[in-house]
């Protein structure tokens, strides 16, 4: 296992590094931060879920990574860590949930070094006092597993809600409110912390976990070649335009167990928040304003389409109620 402390890298390079390490078959930990703000889509996301006009106006680039997880906003206020490990080695767990623990243990220790009581929430979130403090995505490249994630020093929730193409301002405002409540950052928790302090702790904790390593600040020639080769692939219009899954612009996952859904149909507008098993907050409007009695009935209801159907206004057509119920429950 090698350890690369790459300092500040360009936005695209900050993603290409772990793709290239895996592709070149180099087992490594890499720590870095990007010099620019950009949006990064998961393997199955498409640019269709982004407000591309806004991104163009603000000159914010977009990358689509080969690994999992959702759309994220990345900037220099985040400390990136990447783990590339050969799954054929005995110490590297083949089962995905155990691999996450293996790769994230040094990150958990890093939060603890700053006095935070951090816990692991499956699939791969790290949470402090119930709030997400680190996001991660992973994937396999042949015999190598890759995990890529970041420690949030700060996070611009306002900008995050601007880059996504939400259905209306009500959705955007609620999404921001939820992100402010469900996400946290190192600076919010412990005050002024620099990138260098976090980097130093990450490097030390990865060495404790995986054994002492010489810290390298440059990628070896064979990995640099892969970076250049992959820049062409992942920077191509073809890769970005590749068919992914249909964006569900009306259904946002704010954090594990917290979803926001929206629909407008036949004069009704419904904005609903749900946990994994119940409706937790809802706004229902028709041409005359808020329907508070309907809202009260829906909050606390289980995610059972038939139950939601019964709780919706009787003057809605059955087809409309069915559509709304599907959105509110997230299709369950």
Which is nearer to another protein, 59 or 243 (by Cβ)?
A: 243
Burial of 117 (C-beta count, 10 Å sphere; 0-12/13-18/19+): exposed
Nearest to 16 by CA among 315, 234, 323: 234
The DSSP-derived string for 58-101 is HT--EEE-SS-S--EEE-TTEEEEEEEEETTSTTS-SSHHHHHH
* Under rule CB under 8 A, residue 226 binds another protein: no
Does 299 bind another protein (CB under 8 A)? Our answer is no
Position among 48, 130, 142, 235 found at the interface with another protein (CB under 8 A): 142
* 320 binding another protein? (CB under 8 A): no
Kindly state whether residue 168 participates in binding another protein, applying the rule CB under 8 A. no
What is the rounded CA–CA span in Å between residue 198 and residue 200? Answer: 5
Of positions 15, 32, 60, 66, contacts another protein by CB under 8 A: 66
Could you say which of 112, 245, 248, 290 contacts another protein (CB under 8 A)?
245
**Residue 140 CB, nearest distance to another protein (Å)?**
5
Report the nearest approach of another protein to the CB of residue 28 (Å). Answer: 19
Residues 118-137: x where in contact with another protein by CB under 8 A, - otherwise, as a string: ----xxx-----------xx
250: alpha, beta or left? (left if phi > 0; alpha if psi -120 to 50):
alpha
Cβ 125 vs Cβ 223: under 8 Å:
no
The only residue of 34, 69, 106, 297 in contact with another protein, by rule CB under 8 A: 69
Alpha carbon distance 236, 12 (integer Å): 12
Taking CB under 8 A as the binding criterion, the range among 10-18, 168-176, 241-249, 258-266 that sits at the site for another protein is 241-249
The rounded distance, in Å, linking the Cα atoms of 168 and 306 is 27
Stretch that binds another protein, among 63-71, 151-159, 162-170, 177-185 (CB under 8 A): 63-71
138 touches 147 (CB < 8 A): yes
93 is a contact residue toward another protein (CB under 8 A)? yes
Q: Please give the radius of gyration of the chain, using alpha carbons only, rounded to the nearest integer.
A: 21
Give the total of residues touching another protein (CB under 8 A). Answer: 28
Min dist CB 67 to another protein, Å, is 5
Q: Does 252 bind another protein (CB under 8 A)?
A: no
**In sequence order, which ranges of 132-220 are alpha helices (DSSP H)?**
157-163, 169-182, 186-190, 195-210
CA separation for the pair 13, 33 (Å, rounded): 10
Give yes or no for a contact between 189 and 114, defined as CB atoms under 8 angstroms apart.
yes
| DSSP code at position 247 | P
CB of 137 to another protein, least distance (A): 5
The answer to whether 44 contacts another protein (rule: CB under 8 A) is: yes
Q: Which of residues 100-119 bind another protein (CB under 8 A)?
A: 100
Instruction: State the minimum distance, in angstroms, from the CB of residue 169 to another protein.
Output: 29
Binding site for another protein (CB under 8 A): 42-44, 66-70, 87, 93-98, 100, 122-124, 136-140, 142, 243-245
């Amino acid at each position: 296992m090698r350890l690369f402390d790459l300092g500040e890298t360009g936005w695209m390079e900050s993603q290409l590094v772990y793709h290239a390490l895996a592709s070149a078959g180099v087992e490594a930990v890499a720590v870095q931060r990007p010099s620019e703000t950009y949006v990064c889509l998961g393997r199955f996301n498409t640019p269709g879920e982004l407000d591309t006009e806004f991104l163009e106006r603000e000159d914010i680039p977009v990358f689509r990574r080969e690994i999992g997880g959702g759309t994220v906003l990345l900037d220099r206020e985040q400390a990136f860590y990447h783990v590339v490990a050969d799954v054929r080695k005995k110490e590297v767990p083949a089962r995905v949930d155990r691999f996450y623990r293996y790769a994230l243990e040094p990150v958990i220790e890093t939060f603890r070094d700053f006095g935070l009581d951090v816990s692991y929430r499956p699939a791969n979130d790290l949470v402090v006092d119930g709030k997400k403090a680190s996001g991660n995505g992973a994937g396999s490249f042949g015999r190598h597993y890759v995990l890529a994630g970041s420690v949030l020093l700060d996070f611009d929730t306002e900008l995050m809600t601007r880059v996504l193409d939400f259905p209306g301002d009500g959705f955007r405002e609620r999404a921001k409110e939820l992100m402010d409540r469900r996400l946290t950052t190192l600076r919010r928790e412990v005050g002024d912390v620099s990138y260098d302090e976090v980097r130093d702790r990450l490097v030390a904790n990865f060495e404790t976990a995986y054994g002492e390593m010489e810290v390298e600040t440059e990628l070896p020639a064979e990995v640099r070649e892969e970076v250049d080769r992959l820049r062409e692939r992942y920077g191509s219009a073809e890769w970005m335009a590749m068919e992914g899954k249909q964006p569900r612009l009306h259904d946002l996952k704010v954090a594990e167990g917290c979803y926001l859904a929206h629909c407008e149909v036949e004069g009704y507008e419904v904005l609903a928040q749900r946990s994994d098993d119940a409706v937790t907050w809802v706004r229902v409007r028709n041409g005359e304003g808020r329907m508070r009695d309907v809202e009260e009935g829906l909050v606390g209801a289980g995610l059972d389409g038939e139950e939601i159907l019964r709780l919706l206004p009787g003057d809605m057509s059955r087809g409309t109620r069915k559509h709304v119920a599907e959105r509110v429950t997230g299709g369950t």
